[in-house]
Structure 1
Amino acid sequence: MWNDVKHLQQQEQQQQQALDEASQSLENNAVNATESPPLNELENVNIFEQLPSQALATTPTPPSTSASLFMKIRLRESDDLLLFENNSYTVLRGTVATDAQEDDKRDDQLMMMDKEKHRKTNNVETQTVDAHYKTRAINTNHIEKSTVGTFVSNYTVHDTYTNLERTTQCIQIDYDDRHEQLDITTYTRADGCNDLSEELETSKSFQLSSMILQRVLAGNIFHVYQRRFRNMHTSKSLEPVVNYLYRLQFLYRYRYHETSGSAVSCMSWCPSNTDILAIGYGVFKCSACKEHERSAVCLWNIKNPVNPERCFKYTVPVTAVSFSHENSQMLAIGFYDGSIRIIDITMGDASNLVAISERKTSPSIEPVWQMKWIKSRNSDEELLTISQDGFVMLYTITSNTFLIGSRQIQIFLDETKTKTIQIPANRFAPLLTIEMHPIKANVYYVGTDEGIIHECSIYDSFQHKSFKQVHKHGIYSMQFSPWSPKIYLTCGFDWYIRIWIEDIEEPIIELRSGFEPIKCASWCPANSTIIACTTASSLNIWDIKTNCLLPAAVHRLSEWYGETNCSNSNNISNGNSTNITTELTICYFTGCGQSIAVGTDDGSAFVFALEDMPFSPHLQYDALEEAIMRSLVSKPELKRKIKQLGFLGY
């Protein structure tokens, strides 16, 4: 142990001796640094080459006395850094700026020397605040007030109340669906006073102010229904309990006193603003024309469900309306006498006429039942119409106020059904519906009163391409599925709704719920398997995914004039269970498919929201194809034909 301690002491002494020798060599190098080599030679010297090799070893060894260590420091001039700059604000005497400054200073001195305008000034620092100025939008005229006295005698008061009793009238109107009476007091102008009612009716500013005021007042009452129409309150897919009841929630009832008694013959939703609905009042295709029929086209808005925002009155019953897809302010109107009129709905007066048909270019004198806007070859819009006398007309808008009509085709009656007729009869088939092909822009389909669909082309004005017998009687509606360009439905007078595929001659699905004609049928844009149709007494909702024998829900007309409740499909009777003489005419879904509008033959139009409906499938076409294949379990041959066609979607 003593030997180990002694050995450690010897190592410490050796290390201390090595350090002393290294410090002495550094002092010698500092003395020799005065005789340094030139700068170019110093730059090429590597200090590590002059270090002893023992200094780079892992174990410390005392350096040799011949080693020379030195440090080189180079000082270079760097770029200037601007830390602070204070520019001079003085100018040379005799310049223009100096003269202006001296003039201002002289004026200040004269002002201070004047006794009457003496002002006390202090040189202090302050912080100014932002000055707020009035703008032209908020600036108003000065309100003048004055105190004025007057004198009223007993004779003046007596005469005033006597005139009120003479010019006051109390009337009673129906203000709800229960036909309850409401007393309203009206006042008329006394003798000798100017009547301003006619002047106010023609004033555009008054009409605009009245429309805005009615919207504000209606929003206080119907704000809950307006939010539901905009889909702000809908059922969520994550709710724990969901019941599919196919229920209708009543939102609005569009009714105008000047069109009361006229049937809702046609509807058209505005493509750019789905809040606006154009309704035509006149003659429906399933009813006869009355002698004194009230006719008008009203534009309804959900912001004011009480009164229409536009009302265009006509002497001839309206049978068809259609909004333009390119120019949403243009509305085409078809009449019972075969004439066509295109108006601009932004103009509320008589100057709204854009174009009208002429008799020399429009030979049809029968009712125009339906119209379609199509694109021409030069990308302009044209109007394709059908009429009762079998004419298919194409109207073009020109620079003047007259439409140029050209006859596309005239459909003849089926010869096999007219062989037994021994007297001269009409050779042309009445056309009731028209539908454009969703992909082929030049192909359209027309349905006749004989239950036949004719496939025609705009480029062939002499004959149709093909035809198909789809119903035994008249076809009232035809519509392609929004999810397939080859699947379409038809409904007619023979109580059936039939779903077809283009290349198959027999229907793939037949829907029937009673012994009443189907006046209108429509696909739901939100769900590919839901179809709505109207009969004379009810609105039926079908879901071909769940049941093709009975509708999922039947909503009777009698319920809408009281409480709108849904009757389950298990308690459906085939007959009409109401004594109300009013009948339904048409039904159309909104663009989103969450609401539906239904018309009646007494001039009322109901808007409902669809509640407790199945959620929209993620793959709409796959859900439709699955529902069709499931309904064809008992028809293997037809199912095989559909599979051979392959994919039928877009």
Structure 2
Amino acid sequence: MKKLPVRVTLTLCETNTVFLLEIPSATAVRDTDEGNRVEADNEAYEYLTVGKGRNRKMLHAEVQTKPIIVKTRTTDYQRNKTKAGSSYCSVWEMFDTYKDRQDSEEESDDSSAESEIGEAIGHKLNEISSLDSFRLSTEEKQLHKLMKNSRFLEAVCVIERLLASNCFHEEQKIFRCLTVPDDFREKIEYNYRLKHLWTFANEYTKGKSVNSLDWNPKNKDLLAVGYGKFYFADQVTGLVLIWSIKNPVQPERQYNFTPPVTAVSFSKENPMLLAVGFYDGTVIVLNIASREKMIIGENVTPFEPCWSLCWNYGQTQGEEEVVCATFDDGKICAYSIQKKLEPFQLMRVAKADGKLKGYKATKKCTNLVIPVTRSV
């Protein structure tokens, strides 16, 4: 058995202090450094709020402070209350419901087609006095309704392309450089000559002159042609046709205008956008993705005739692609699509005047005030 020790040593030490609750004092002892600072602050506060310091002059000035947007109570979204429910529907009820809806849609389509035909007939009553010629049969009404269907027009376009490929198959291969000669042929001949492939023309282009044309930068098969007048006294309307090598006989798109067309240009960034300039100075941007005349923007500011158009990235307009146009009075303007073709004048070209002796060339004009006139 182990004996107990005669002497036991105990060491006493202080533990860490644990604060369960601490309320700091809000007062200071007078006649101390901290008390003197508190008294000075209290006197300054009383001077600015109650004393003479409250009548100080104030000046309102602008500062570069960012506005802080605070959400109000009206912007809070209240959660919609939902409730679970169930119902039973038989197959016969669903069949009857869809059948009634289909019948009602067919009746509405027939009534709309008849109303459109009636409007067209009423418009022609002023020209022809005979009423028997306006009595259309059911087949004729169905034909008018079918011609207004977009899916039918797309199908007709595909059929026309197939028929045109039978007549212009070899010419289309030459245009696309698909007639590659054999590298191992025995007889090699180089015959450089002009060969007529086809002519883009139909009954709508008769009597109109081609004033401008432009190939699509992305799809090389598409060609935009603007038709107008050749002589100043000609009284013709404007026409824009979108031709394709897949169908050289009929155009893919046709847009009619009142003023003659003077210039057309495709966008390099958005190849579906086509800028069109007119003889009265109007500049518009068309979206050729639609068969209907979809105008993205139009400039109605009166100018002289617009002679040329191009798409460019102007430094003054940022990174956006703008339409640049030149006019008969020497103005060169830029148009932004985002600003609804609002004109921005870039410069004005002056008329060159004078000649150098012994040199058959025009001398550079130093007077920039003289405008370009078409009477010279």
Residues 1:232 and 1:337: Cα distance change in structure 2 (over 3 Å):
same
Offset at residue 289 of structure 1 (A): 3.1
> Partner of 2:203 in structure 1?
257
- CA RMSD for the aligned pairs? 2.7
The reply to whether residue 316 of structure 1 matches residue 316 of structure 2 is: no
**Identical-residue share of aligned pairs (%):** 30
Residues 1:235 and 1:290: Cα distance change in structure 2 (over 3 Å):
farther
> Partner of 2:238 in structure 1?
295
In structure 2, how many angstroms separate the alpha carbons of the residues matched to 1:319 and 1:380?
25
The reply to whether residue 336 of structure 1 matches residue 274 of structure 2 is: no
Letter in 2 for 1:353: I
TM-score, length basis structure 1: 0.33
The reply to whether residue 411 of structure 1 matches residue 349 of structure 2 is: yes
Give 1:389's match in structure 2, choosing from 308, 317, 329. Answer: 329
Residues 1:293 and 1:236: Cα distance change in structure 2 (over 3 Å):
farther
Of Structure 1 and Structure 2, the greater strand share is in 1
In structure 1, how many angstroms separate the alpha carbons of the residues matched to 2:165 and 2:354?
59
In structure 2, how many angstroms separate the alpha carbons of the residues matched to 1:237 and 1:265?
42
Report if aligned partners of 1:261, 1:294 keep a CA contact under 8 Å in 2: no
The 5 A counterparts of 1:171-570 are 191-194=135-138, 195-196=140-141, 197-235=143-181, 242-283=188-229, 287-350=230-293, 352-359=294-301, 363-364=302-303, 366-377=304-315, 378-398=318-338, 402-416=340-354, 427-429=370-372
Offset at residue 396 of structure 1 (A): 1.0
In structure 2, how many angstroms separate the alpha carbons of the residues matched to 1:210 and 1:357?
35
Offset at residue 190 of structure 1 (A): 8.8
Residues 1:322 and 1:236: Cα distance change in structure 2 (over 3 Å):
farther
Quick one: higher RCO (CA 8 Å, sep 6+), 1 or 2?
Answer: 1
Report if aligned partners of 1:375, 1:382 keep a CA contact under 8 Å in 2: yes
Residues 1:327 and 1:392: Cα distance change in structure 2 (over 3 Å):
same
Residues 1:413 and 1:211: Cα distance change in structure 2 (over 3 Å):
same
In structure 2, how many angstroms separate the alpha carbons of the residues matched to 1:289 and 1:202?
37
- Give 3-state SS (helix, strand or coil) of 2:196's partner: strand
Letter in 2 for 1:301: S
Offset at residue 415 of structure 1 (A): 3.9
Once the two structures are overlaid, the 10-residue window that deviates more, 216-225 or 265-274, is: 216-225
In structure 1, how many angstroms separate the alpha carbons of the residues matched to 2:204 and 2:264?
19
TM-score, length basis structure 2: 0.55
Offset at residue 239 of structure 1 (A): 5.6
User: Which stretches in structure 1 are left out of the alignment for 5+ residues?
Assistant: 1-188, 418-425, 432-448, 451-650
Report if aligned partners of 1:387, 1:430 keep a CA contact under 8 Å in 2: no
Report if aligned partners of 1:278, 1:321 keep a CA contact under 8 Å in 2: yes
Residues 1:392 and 1:242: Cα distance change in structure 2 (over 3 Å):
farther
Of Structure 1 and Structure 2, the greater helix share is in 2
Report if aligned partners of 1:330, 1:342 keep a CA contact under 8 Å in 2: yes
In structure 2, how many angstroms separate the alpha carbons of the residues matched to 1:271 and 1:376?
19
> Partner of 1:613 in structure 2?
none
> Partner of 1:636 in structure 2?
none
Larger radius of gyration: 1
- Give 3-state SS (helix, strand or coil) of 2:157's partner: helix
Letter in 2 for 1:300: W
Offset at residue 252 of structure 1 (A): 1.4
User: Which stretches in structure 2 are left out of the alignment for 5+ residues?
Assistant: 1-132, 356-368
Once the two structures are overlaid, the 10-residue window that deviates more, 249-258 or 305-314, is: 249-258
In structure 2, how many angstroms separate the alpha carbons of the residues matched to 1:192 and 1:269?
43
After superposition, what is the alpha-carbon deviation per residue over 1:129-153, rounded to whole angstroms, capped at 9, x for unaligned?
xxxxxxxxxxxxxxxxxxxxxxxxx
In structure 2, how many angstroms separate the alpha carbons of the residues matched to 1:190 and 1:358?
39
